[in-house]
A and B are shown apart, each in its own frame.
Chain A
Amino acid sequence: MSAIAPTSPRTGGTFLRRNAIWWVALLFVLLLPQVARSGTSIAVLNQMCIMVIFSLSYNMLLGQGGMLSFGHAVYFGLGGYFTIHLMKMASGGFFMPLPLVPLAGGLAGLLFGLLFGSFSTNRAGTVFAMISLGIGEMIAASSLIFVKFSGGEEGITADRTDLTSLFGIRFRSEVDVYYLIAAWMVLSAWLMYRFSRTPVGRMANAVRDNPERAEFVGYSQKHVRLLSFMGAGFFAGIAGGLFAVNYEIVTEETVNLVSSGTVLLQAYIGGVGFFAGPIVGAIVYTLLQTLLSNYTEIWAFYVGLIFVATVMYAPTGLTGIIMMHLPIYRAGKLRSLALPYLRIGVPALCCTIGVIGLLELLHFLSVRAVGQSTKRLFWLTLNVEQPFAWIIFSVLAVGGFLVARRVAPSVLAAWEAASLHAFGGRAR
């Protein structure tokens, strides 16, 4: 906090205690496969952990450094490419245990972060965003052109089981890989958290909030940004390396703009203002992607809607919403919010159902076979040629939205009253 607060000596005991939450996290992720045993859930968990690292690294830029990047997948993808090349070279060739290969991705991310950061971190904001987009496009296009390095459209593959075995573990099964990825995830998250507490991490926040004042204190805004940028590149590279280890293939899709957009979506939905935000975002996004895509083809559209709604109505993200209620929960006042939330929840739910219904019907119209006129939705069979279903869904959507907007101020007032009470009437 400040220099006045007494700092505890770094003995073993306090180290354990100070990092208690991280030990709990490690224990939790290591025990998770005991609960979620099926192959699919392990696959989802692997993807989730990789995305957590990737999103956290992205937040080193956006949340902590104030740099909006549209090309962060460059470091993820290049990390993946370098890792997979190392795996190919090392297969049977020289001593290189699999748990260490993601480091190659990290180093690649770091070096390319230095290279591209050296001319793109002069300014933050819009200009940085555009340059990152340009670099992202350049690398994505290059990855299709330089076929020897990237394998072109087919991508490049390797076999992780060919590498030197460590204590007899050959990482044949997905669960083995899960432990590897999870360990890397906790380690990376811990390192990124520690980074945010270092003077450099603190200066990154200062530069984000007011670059001019940071310069007056004597720090070069460019250098501070560059350091964050390289750090973000490093961890994105680690995530890319783990991607390569997990899927044993790296294609252009890891490095392109869609991938860059995904990480922005994840981090933002989770909440970029909090360290845990991107973790929440990555988990929610992966769940949405894997679960929602079982039910609907247009899941990406829903994710986009959630994203735009977050930007417009809840810029602090899911974590921000949770944090808004933490003091109220501690004061035991959460119950006073139940009724107001019910009042807005019901119309919001109606609106959601209406929008989903309309979108699904619209989508059905464009993909249906000739003569097909009924669609099953919400356990109902609907006829798209009759206006009935359309009218019902439109009324639900519009009516729900209007009612929700009408009661929104009173709900906000209820929240304010509750949180004022939680803070004991103190001015915040």
Chain B
Amino acid sequence: MLELIVFSLLNGLVYGLLLFMLSSGLTLIFSMMGVLNFAHASLYMLGAYLAYTISLKIGFWPGLIIAPLLVGVVGALIERYGLRNVHRYGHVAELIFTFGVAFLIEESVQLVWGRQNVDYREPEILSFPLFTLWGTDFPAYKAFMLAISVAIFIALLLVLTRSRVGLIIQAAITHPNQVAMLGHNVPLVFTGVFGVGSALAGLAGVIAGPALGTFPGMAAVLGSIVFVVIVVGGLGSLAGAFVASLLIGMLQTFAVAVDYSLEDLFAAVGITTSKTSALIDLYTVTVAQIGPILPYLLLVLILIFRPTGLLGKREV
């Protein structure tokens, strides 16, 4: 039991911080421009694929740097030449535009790299078990993922709160006109934030690719979860996104380990269920099986009972 808790905690932390790397960029972009970037998870996938190609040519480590930069450039281009033109049609049109871009990125990834999984692996130097507890290995690569995520988190925090750029960004979120009046190039700030947010998504893809698999569906697997994270955390709240990322990360990893169903619960309190009932699915499905829908269930519950999200201020 202790083994299960420790490893679920660790895995949940790795997964949660990965989610935060995606949701932080998404939240920043949303609070600045009011645009939910539907293509965010597609950029994550693009990062993984680019890193795969780079790792074939010149190795894993250059890919760790180059792939996120490339994805950041792609993101900035999308903002500059796409989103900015669509802006005049309103937020709904912007959302639809990013949806179209997500569709295009996903299709072009399949166009270039094919529809199969690609064999993107962690570097040799990191493929060993870091420690073994109760006979279960904890891979060094996961520790590496953890380290990168924590480093990014701290860097983001420092840049946003301690640096001049961070101050301008924070000001541009709430008072874009005032900031422009002070002589700052607000559209450039927007493009920059969009680019950096995309680069973060790309980096998340680079480090997640070897651990979670690099395949055409990887954007769809994570994309909606990231949206759930930022709604549950509270729209536009970076701290909320952090809490919700960890919460959902833990929720999903712990759910996988719990092999009980409603039937077991009923049996424990002495109620027997009929095997022929039409609701038999509902009783016999285990928590592990419904793991994938738990985040969405959480989303619905949050919307009903706390429409602002965990730490958000604006009503959903």
Binding site for B on A (CB under 8 A): 66, 68, 70, 119-120, 122-123, 125-127, 129-131, 133-135, 137-138, 141-142, 145-149, 257, 261, 264-265, 268, 298, 300-301, 304-305, 307-308, 311-312, 315, 359, 362-363, 366-367
For window 8-45 of chain B, which residues contact chain A by CB distance below 8 Å?
Answer: 30, 34, 36
| Interface residue B76 (Cβ < 8 Å from any Cβ of A) | no
Q: Are A307 and B100 in contact (CB under 8 A)?
A: yes
Task: Give the docked Cα–Cα distance between A133 and B104 (Å).
Answer: 19
Tell whether, in the assembled complex, residue B82 and residue A126 are in contact, meaning their CB atoms are under 8 Å apart.
no
Q: Of B227, B304, B315, which one neighbours A133 at CB under 8 angstroms?
A: B227
Interface pair A146/B36, CB less than 8 Å apart: no
The 5 closest A-B pairs by CB, nearest first: A138-B296, A308-B100, A146-B281, A301-B107, A134-B299
A312 B300 Cβ-Cβ under 8 A: no
Q: Which residues of A sit under 8 angstroms from B108, Cβ to Cβ?
A: 301
State A330–B247 Cα separation when bound (angstroms).
62
Cβ–Cβ contact B96 & A268, under 8 A: yes
Is B303 in contact with A120, judged by CB distance below 8 angstroms? yes
With a cutoff of 8 Å between Cβ atoms, the chain B residues found around residue A367 in the complex are 114
Complex Cα gap A120–B300 (Å): 9
Residues of A within 8 A of B231 (CB): 127, 130-131, 134
Contact of A300 among B107, B112, B281 (CB under 8 A): B107
Q: Are B92 and A142 interface neighbours, CB within 8 A?
A: no
Given contacts A130-B227, A312-B97, 15 further A-B contacts (CB under 8 A): A68-B96, A120-B303, A123-B316, A127-B231, A127-B316, A135-B296, A135-B300, A138-B296, A138-B299, A257-B220, A265-B103, A300-B107, A301-B107, A311-B100, A366-B111
Interface residue tally on B, bucketed by range: 35 or more
Pairwise interchain contact B112-A362, C-beta atoms closer than 8 A: yes
B69, CB-defined interface residue at 8 Å: no
Contact of B89 among A120, A146, A298, A315 (CB under 8 A): A315
Question: Which residues of chain B have a CB within 8 Å of any CB of chain A?
Answer: 30, 34, 36, 82, 85-86, 89, 91-93, 95-97, 99-101, 103-104, 107-108, 111-114, 220, 224, 227-228, 231, 235, 278, 280-282, 285, 289-290, 292-293, 296-297, 299-300, 303-304, 307, 315-316
Taking a contact as CB atoms under 8 Å apart, the answer to whether A126 and B111 are in contact is no
Contact B316 A122 (CB under 8 A): yes
12 residue pairs of the A-B complex, CB under 8 angstroms, read A129-B36, A129-B92, A129-B95, A130-B231, A134-B224, A268-B96, A301-B108, A304-B104, A307-B103, A311-B93, A359-B111, A366-B114
Write the nearest CB–CB distance from B45 to chain A, whole angstroms: 15
A366 partner residues in chain B, CB cutoff 8 A:
111-114
The answer to whether B111 touches A301, judged by C-beta atoms less than 8 angstroms apart, is yes
Asked whether, in the complex, the Cβ of B297 is within 8 Å of the Cβ of A308, the reply is no
Q: Which of A120, A146, A264, A308 has its CB near the most chain B CB atoms (within 10 A)? A: A308
Chain B residues lying within 8 Å of A298, measured Cβ to Cβ, are 107, 111
- Whether B91 and A126, one on each chain, are in contact in the complex, defined by CB atoms closer than 8 angstroms, is yes
Name the residue of chain B whose CB is nearest to the CB of A118.
B304
Instruction: Assess whether A142 is in contact with B293, with CB atoms less than 8 Å apart.
Output: yes
Bound-complex Cα distance A421 to B267 (A): 80
Q: Contact at A137–B224, with CB atoms within 8 Å?
A: yes
CB distance from B117 to the nearest CB of A (A): 14
Which chain A residues lie closer than 8 Å to B101 at the CB level?
308
Measured between beta carbons, the chain A residues less than 8 angstroms from B278 are: 148
Name B's interface SS: helix
Complex: A141 Cα to B295 Cα, angstroms: 11
- Other-chain residue from B86, B92, B290, B296 in contact with A134 (beta carbon distance below 8 A): B296
| Structural contact, A145 and B299, CB atoms closer than 8 A | no
How many contacting A-B pairs (Cβ < 8 A)? 120
Closest Cβ neighbor of B113 among chain A residues: A366
Q: Beyond A137-B224, A138-B297, is A126–B307 a contact (Cβ under 8 Å)? A: no
Can you name the residue of chain A whose Cβ is closest to the Cβ of B38? A70
Chain A's closest residue to B224 (CB) is A137
A-chain residues with CB within 8 Å of residue B235 when the two chains form the complex: 127
Which chain B residues lie closer than 8 Å to A130 at the CB level? Answer: 36, 227, 231
Q: Within the complex, what minimum Cβ distance (angstroms) separates B191 from chain A?
A: 17
In angstroms, Cα B85 to Cα A315, docked, is: 12
Task: Using A304-B100, A312-B85 as known contacts, say yes or no to A68 and B95 having CB atoms under 8 A apart.
Answer: yes
Q: Which of A119, A145, A264 contacts B303 (CB 8 A)?
A: A119
Q: Is B280 in contact with A311, judged by CB distance below 8 angstroms?
A: no
| Cα(A301)–Cα(B115), bound, Å | 14
Q: Is B104 a contact partner of A301 (Cβ separation < 8 A)? A: yes
For A304, list chain B residues within 8 Å (CB): 100, 103-104, 107
* Interfacial chain B residues near A131, Cβ < 8 Å: 231, 299, 303, 316
Q: Which residues of A contact B303 (CB under 8 A)?
A: 119-120, 131
Report B199 CB to chain A, min CB distance, Å: 22
B296 touches A137 (CB 8 A): yes
Which residues of B are found within 8 Å of A137, using beta-carbon distances?
224, 293, 296
In the bound complex, how far is the Cα of B108 from the Cα of A198, in angstroms?
44
Among A264, A268, A304, residue most surrounded by chain B Cβ atoms (within 10 Å): A304
- Closest chain B residue to A268 by CB distance? B96
User: Do B96 and A264 touch across chains, with their CB atoms under 8 A apart?
Assistant: yes
